[in-house]
Amino acid sequence: MKLIAILFLCSRLLTSFAQEDQPQEIDCNNEDVFKAVDAALKKYNDRNKSGNQFVLYRITEGNKTVDNDIFYSVKYEMKEGDCPVQSGKTWQDCDYKEAEQAATGECMATLGKRRNVEFSVTTQTCHITPAKGPVVTSQYECHGCLHPIKTVPADFNPVLRHAMEHFNNHTNHSHLFALKEVKRAQRQMVSGWNYEVTYLIEQTNCSKENFKFLNQDCKALPNGDTGECTDLAYVDPQLRIASFSQKCQILPGEDFPKGCLGCPDEKPVDSPDLKDALNHSITTLNAQINAMFLFKIDIVHSATSQVVGGFKYFIDFTARETTCSKQRHEELSESCEIKKHGAILRCTFDVYYPVGEKNRIDSTFECQSPGKKQLRPCVYKGRPRQAGAEPTSKSVAS
């Protein structure tokens, strides 16, 4: 006997997300959601060898992930019907058993759909409550299906590491690239595992001439080249990458001077990238000049940066004398106010951060007081000397 009416009671109406390849919550009455639940329920009934088929009671949740393929995750409730599993009928041809005699169930399933191909069940877990008795859990997993990877697992890292090594070793780009972001990934269990991953890469400041491999000191260039890669990898049962293919598209960096990777690049005077260099400059200035009061940067006139085996900054600024004496203040603070009629210095600083030497900063500077002779240029390396020390034109090793 055909089921006359099926009660679909949706727990909520769901709004779709606009961003592609992110889960989209969709209305439980959506036709594709119903088809996905239909495929999942039929899969559950087909696996049972005895007893009665279960009949759909209501759909409570539906999500869709759109990529090259489409994946659905659904949640639904079902009740035991009056048709035996071996009757040859579908669940739509059955009625519910009497409520006090019917088992009930709640299922969560993930299904894939390739273009116009029918739905295939990837995973399904059902919690069954007999008419009288405890909850029984039934689980189904399709080991040969392609599963989307929502978060990158630990065993996936060797694939990504191999991908970056392969790219850096097989391209003619002058600099090494680093992984920026994994956009999407899928895994298939075979005799081993097949991986398909799409990710973004970005150019670092480490040139191939000076660096053979990526290390922790290789930092992404703000305006460097970027790229998007799609890789296919097979990992055998011994966890070895047995086969690998890679396809990448490189995009030129914006405002990055091609053919002049070491040329100075002008920076906005209020750029956050200058904060450390400016702090280092004024600290060095106060430690190196023989003055009774600390100086504070008043105006930054211009700044440039340059990639030369590290980062080098050229800064031109005006510093003014503050109310904080070196005798009472070890360092500059917010409470140090600029003197209205205090001394003024116009300074140019070169600040260099070498790659691979975290605790080393090299800097040189020249300062001139308006209407007076230019102060002696100083070369400074490492930490600032104590306040009140005489300036020097020699290098001071840290």
Please tell me the total count of domains within the chain.
Answer: 3
237/276 same-domain check: no
d(CA 89, CA 39): 15
Look up the CATH number of the domain holding residue 187.
3.10.450.10
Q: Looking at the domain assignment, is residue 28 inside a domain?
A: yes
243/304 same-domain check: no
- Could you tell me the residue range of the domain that residue 341 belongs to? 265-381
- pLDDT of amino acid 295: 94
- pLDDT of amino acid 106: 93
CB-count exposure of residue 173 (10 Å: 0-12, 13-18, 19+) = middle
133/224 same-domain check: no
Q: Looking at the domain assignment, is residue 55 inside a domain?
A: yes
Q: Looking at the domain assignment, is residue 201 inside a domain?
A: yes
170/71 same-domain check: no
Per residue in 296-320, pLDDT (tens digit) is 999 999 888 877 767 888 999 999 9
Last residue of a domain, one of 191, 222, 251: 251
pTM of the model: 0.38
**How far from the centroid of its chain's Cα atoms is residue 210's Cα?**
27
- pLDDT of amino acid 144: 61
- pLDDT of amino acid 388: 36
Q: Looking at the domain assignment, is residue 8 inside a domain?
A: no
Pair of tokens at residue 58: 């209501």
In the predicted structure, residue 12 carries a pLDDT above the cut 60: no
Banded pLDDT at 141 (limits 50, 70, 90) = low
Pair of tokens at residue 354: 């070498």
According to DSSP, the residues that pair with 109 across neighbouring strands are 74, 124
d(CA 378, CA 375): 9
Percent of the chain with pLDDT over 90: 26
334/304 same-domain check: yes
89/161 same-domain check: no
CB neighbourhood size of 347 (10 A): 22
Q: Looking at the domain assignment, is residue 395 inside a domain?
A: no
158/141 same-domain check: no
Question: Cα dist. 257→221, 223, 336 in Å?
Answer: 12, 9, 41
The DSSP code sequence of 336-348 is: -PBPTT--EEEEE
> Please, what is the average pLDDT of the chain?
79
102/139 same-domain check: yes
Q: Looking at the domain assignment, is residue 305 inside a domain?
A: yes
**Residue 362 near residue 354 (C-beta atoms within 8 A):** yes
